[in-house]
Amino acid sequence: MCGIVGYIGDKNVYPILIGGLQRLEYRGYDSAGIAIFNEDLKVYKCKGKVSDLENYVASKDVHGTVGMGHTRWATHGEPNDTNAHPHTSMNGNFVLVHNGIIENYAEIKSDLIKKGIVFKTETDTEVLCNLIEFYYEKGENVSAELAVRMALSKIVGAYGIVVFCKNEPDKLIAARKGSPLVVGIGRGEYFLASDATPIVEYTDSMIYLNDEDVAIVSKDGLTLKTIQNDPVAFKVTKVDLSIGDLEKGNFEHFMLKEIFEQPKTIADTFRGRIKADQSDIVLGGLIDVFPKLLAADRIIIIGCGTSWHAALVGEYMIEEYARIPVEVEYASEFRYRKPILGEKDVVIAISQSGETADTLAALKMAKEMGATILGVCNVVGSSISRETDGGVYTHAGVEIGVASTKAFTAQVTVMIMLALKLAKEKGTIAPELYGSLIRDLAEVPGKVKSILVKHPHIKEIAEKYKDAVNALYLGRGYLFPVALEGALKLKEISYIHAEGYAAGEMKHGPIALVDTNLPVVVVAAKDSYYEKIVSNIQEVKARKGNIIAVVTEGDSHLKEMCNDVFEIPKSHPAIAPLLAIIPLQLFSYYIAVLRGCNVDQPRNLAKSVTVE
Ligand code: AGP
């Protein structure tokens, strides 16, 4: 997912741009560039990292007080210097950075070529830049802003853009549709960015643009309108991000820092929501829609990747305790398969970033079909959170590592609270059980701490399996989603092919994979499935598989049976996912580090997939 940062004011713009791009690196990218205006327009861009860009501009003139920067995650056109952003128009009047995909760029490009426009790159972004210049030069007294709005009205697809016109050097123009863009408000200065992280050190006052908003910022102020030129009232959001949130501190990687933050972030997720006397769970963002949840014929939980795994935990718990039918859907499938939805359905979107394109699109489809739509998001003010009828923020703090860790446990914590609240309101859970589950949840941060202190042991086990080529993760019940999540963690940061499976499915295929070269990770904490999962372990052992098991502390039986074990404290089965995932997060982290992988920015991955 591309990253954007822009500035106009009195400060030297270069450090703001480069520093902003460094804070955006976590989003994943393959090239970077900046454009700075100071009497003339200077554009510097190259394939590679932000550090490569810094080396490239070391001897260049980077003075100026207005400019933009971009980290590119290639969609159209291979990663190279030419295709990197910013892009300039043919006659040099405009420079632009873009996050998104222009679906009709080919027809626009061929039309512009017929009109004599010459292109330098393979990108869809350059097409938009030249379309703006085309409108700018075509009419009489067409302003830069009008040219931008005219061009955007022809675009099909998603965009978050920052545009500069060298003939109107006192302003920057920003616009969004489908790709997030935020305006940071300073004193006589404005910041533009894909999210708050690159600009939060300068201001905590943000305006999150909505689809088809256009913002024109200059030292004199801000104008907000739609691409149809209608004025837009805007809301200023105060973000509570600190610089510390954006630094690794004493940790080697953001992922490790975020794994170790989980005792605090899980507590932050339920803090203020579980009443001190544990008599009730207060989910303020759901108050207005709660009657719809209670009366729902069906709850459909949608998400992608890790968020989809958290949704599975929610499905199991809501059905078991609140007795409301639940379906879990991959957003990327749900949005296209023509599902049957109605007003008695509630659709919950789980999304850490709140910007995942498939999840946002699936949610909009559900809204159009009359369902009540809710969000469980981590980023305040994100597109999904602003699209819903209500929701719950996970309060996990900014998650920089591409591999989701603290967001997952925060999402599961919200699912647990939601299931318990629904069950209590419906009277489908015994008060004693409700109370014991609440107490168990409240003890999770301490129990997670007790697992984290065992990280040297987990690292030792990781060293044994770092050269694996494949891995199989197995679980049952509430621990089946944990097996899926553990496998995703390993594959996405160590590039080992890891597959998560319901343990009961072993005999229907996966057991054919088992041999002495295959590590089999079994999530086997004590629960009602325990006897069954032990027999699965025996089946693997009989075929010389290497078994690494997540077990309940003191399980000497499995310690005896397995090659290696990760012990977790005893807890109620519905709470166990919050504990069982911790050693698997660390296991995958250490293996990835031992394999020399780029843990925080794994190859080919982006932190949030805002393009389809
Ligand atoms: C998980 O480690 C990955 N980063 C990825 O699967 C992620 O969970 C998925 O892209 C969904 O992102 P979201 O929660 O921001 O919607």
pLDDT digits (tens, 9 = 90+) for 180-204: 899 999 999 999 999 898 999 999 9
pLDDT for the residue 353: 94
Q: CA–CA separation, 278 vs 84, rounded Å?
A: 54
**How do 390-393 and 372-377 pair as beta strands?**
parallel
**H, E, C per residue of 430-448:** CHHHHHHHHHHHHHHHHHH
385 lines ligand 1 (CB under 6 A): no
Quote the CA–CA distance of 46 and 60 in Å, as a whole number. 14
- Of 581, 569, 574, nearest to 306 (Cα)? 581
Q: Specify the pLDDT at position 391.
A: 96
Confidence of residue 276 (pLDDT cuts 50, 70, 90): confident
Ligand 1 near 306 CB (within 6 A): yes
- Does the beta carbon of 402 lie inside 6 Å of ligand 1? yes
- CATH for 453-599 is 3.40.50.10490
User: What pLDDT, on a 0 to 100 scale, did the predictor assign at position 598?
Assistant: 93
Looking at the predicted structure, is the pLDDT value of residue 548 above 90?
Answer: yes
At 516 the pLDDT is 94
Residue 83 near ligand 1, beta carbon < 6 Å: no
- Distance of CA 205 from the midpoint of ligand 1 (Å): 27
Q: How far is the CA of 107 from the centre of ligand 1 (A)?
A: 33
Number of Cβ atoms within 10 Å of the Cβ of 538: 12
pLDDT digits (tens, 9 = 90+) for 565-591: 999 999 999 999 999 999 999 999 999
Q: Say if ligand 1 is within 6 A of residue 356 CB.
A: yes
Q: How far is the CA of 413 from the centre of ligand 1 (A)?
A: 17
Q: What is the pLDDT of residue 79?
A: 77
CB 411 near ligand 1, within 6 Å: no
Q: How far is the CA of 190 from the centre of ligand 1 (A)?
A: 30
| pLDDT surpasses 80 at 242 | no
Look up residue 288 and give its DSSP letter: T
Ligand 1 atom with minimal separation from the 403 CA:
2
Give the β-pairing of 372-377 and 470-475.
unpaired
pLDDT value at position 219?
84
pLDDT above 90: residue 466: yes
In sequence order, which ranges of 43-115 are alpha helices (DSSP H)?
50-57, 105-114
DSSP 8-class letter at 281? B
Q: What is the dihedral of CA 241, 244, 245, 247, to 10 degrees?
A: 140
Residue 411 CA: nearest ligand 1 atom is 14
Asked if 337 contacts 362 with a C-beta cutoff of 8 angstroms, the reply is: no
Which pLDDT belongs to residue 80?
A: 80
The candidate with the shortest Cα–Cα distance to 541, out of 567, 560, 526, is 560
Site to probe by mutation for ligand 1, drawn from 306, 363, 411, 493 as the one with most ligand atoms within 8 Å of Cβ, is 306
Distance, in Å, from the CA atom of 26 to the CA atom of 352, rounded to the nearest integer, reads 14
| pLDDT for residue 436 is more than 80 | yes
593's tokens: 């580090």
CA of 399 to the centre of ligand 1 (A): 11
- Specify the 3-state DSSP secondary structure of 44: strand
What is the C-alpha separation between 96 and 74, in angstroms, rounded? 16
Distance 57 CA to ligand 1 centre (A): 34
Q: Which atom of ligand 1 is nearest to the CA of 353?
A: 15
* Of the candidates 190, 197, 235, 196, the residue with the CA atom closest to the CA atom of residue 213: 235
pLDDT at 77 over 80: no
- Among 70-79, 298-307, 331-340, 589-598, where is mean pLDDT lowest? 70-79
pLDDT of residue 250: 87
- Active site includes 166? no
Residues 357, 160: Cα–Cα separation, whole Å: 13
Q: Which of 47, 49, 171, 607 is catalytic?
A: 607
**What pLDDT is stored for residue 251 in this prediction?**
93
Write out the two tokens for 49.
């990292």
Q: How confident is the model at residue 279 (pLDDT cuts 50, 70, 90)?
A: confident
* pLDDT attached to residue 275: 80
Q: Average of pLDDT values for 453-470?
A: 97
Q: Report the C-alpha gap between 448 and 445 in whole angstroms.
A: 5
288 alpha carbon to ligand 1 midpoint, in Å? 28
Residue 334: both structure tokens together: 């749900």
Q: Does residue 308 surpass a pLDDT of 80?
A: yes
pLDDT at 573: 97
Fold of 248-442: Rossmann fold (3.40.50)
Q: For residue 405, which atom of ligand 1 is closest to its CA? A: 2
Q: Report the mean per-residue pLDDT for the chain.
A: 94
| Closest residue to atom 4 of ligand 1, CA basis | 403
Mutational test site, ligand 1, from 1, 302, 335, 352, max ligand atoms within 8 Å of CB:
352
Closest-lying ligand 1 atom to the alpha carbon of residue 608: 15
Least confident stretch, 37-51, 235-249, 323-337, 503-517: 235-249
Contact 469, 496 (CB under 8 A): yes
pLDDT digits (tens, 9 = 90+) for 104-151: 999 999 999 999 999 999 889 999 999 999 999 998 889 999 999 999
Task: Report pLDDT for 94.
Answer: 97
**What was the pLDDT predicted at 245?**
79
Query: Could you check whether 3-244 and 453-599 share the same CATH topology?
Result: no
> What is the number of other CB atoms lying within 10 angstroms of the CB of residue 542?
10
pLDDT-above-90 percentage for the chain: 85
Cα radius of gyration rounded to whole Å, the chain? 25
Please, where are the H alpha helices in 369-479? 383-387, 406-426, 431-452, 455-465
pLDDT per residue as tens digits for the range 56-76: 999 999 999 999 999 987 767
28 pLDDT more than 80 = no
Amino acid at 88: T
Q: Which pLDDT does position 248 carry in this prediction?
A: 85
Query: Is the per-residue pLDDT at 440 higher than 90?
Result: yes
285 secondary structure, DSSP code:
G
Ligand 1 pocket, 301 CB below 6 A?
no
Structure tokens at 72: 């590119």
**Confidence grade of residue 220 (pLDDT, cut at 50, 70, 90):** confident
Of 334, 399, 608, 612, the one to substitute when testing ligand 1's pocket (max ligand atoms within 8 A of C-beta) is 608
Q: Using a 6 Å cutoff on CB, does residue 258 contact ligand 1?
A: no
Q: Provide the β-strand partners of residue 523.
A: 550
Kindly state if the Cβ of 403 falls inside 6 Å of ligand 1: yes
Dihedral over alpha carbons 402, 391, 215, 179 (to 10 degrees):
40
Fold of the 3-244 domain: Glutamine Phosphoribosylpyrophosphate, subunit 1, domain 1 (3.60.20)
| Active-site position among 2, 129, 304, 562 | 2
Q: pLDDT class for 213, splitting at 50, 70, 90?
A: very high
Measured in Å, residue 304 CA sits from the centre of ligand 1 at 6
Residue partners of 527: CB distance under 8 A and separation at least 6: 477, 478, 479, 573, 576
Higher pLDDT, 2 or 437: 437
Q: Is residue 307 in contact with ligand 1, taking CB distance under 6 Å?
A: yes
Q: Write the CB contacts of 448 (distance below 8 Å, at least 6 apart in sequence).
A: 262, 263, 266, 409, 578, 579, 582
Give the containing element (helix H, strand E) for 484.
helix 480-494
3-class state of residue 501 by DSSP = strand
Answer yes or no: is the C-beta of 404 below 6 A from any ligand 1 atom. yes
Residue 109 designated active-site? no
Ligand 1: atom nearest CA of 306 is: 8
Q: Which of 339, 321, 317 is nearest to 329 (CA)?
A: 339
Q: Examine the pLDDT at 277 and tell me if it is beyond 80.
A: no
> What are the domain boundaries of the chain?
3-244, 248-442, 453-599
* DSSP class per residue in 105-135: HHHHHHHHHHTT----SS-HHHHHHHHHHHH
Ligand 1: which atom is nearest the Cα of residue 609?
A: 10
For residues 500 and 482, is the Cβ–Cβ distance under 8 A? no
Q: Is the pLDDT of residue 336 over 90?
A: yes
Q: What is the pLDDT of residue 240?
A: 82
Instruction: DSSP letter for 18, please.
Output: H
| Nearest residue to 290 (alpha-carbon basis) of 441, 434, 426 | 426
| Ligand 1 contact, 413 CB (< 6 A) | no
Output the pLDDT for position 410: 98
- The ligand 1 atom at the shortest distance from the C-alpha of residue 404 is 2
pLDDT at 26 over 80: no
Burial readout 544-566 (b: 16 or more C-beta within 10 A, e: otherwise) = ebbbbbbbbeebeebeebbebbb
Collapsed DSSP state (helix, strand, coil) of residue 533: helix
Q: From the CB of residue 465, how many other CB atoms can be counted at a distance below 10 Å? A: 21
Supply the pTM of this predicted model. 0.83
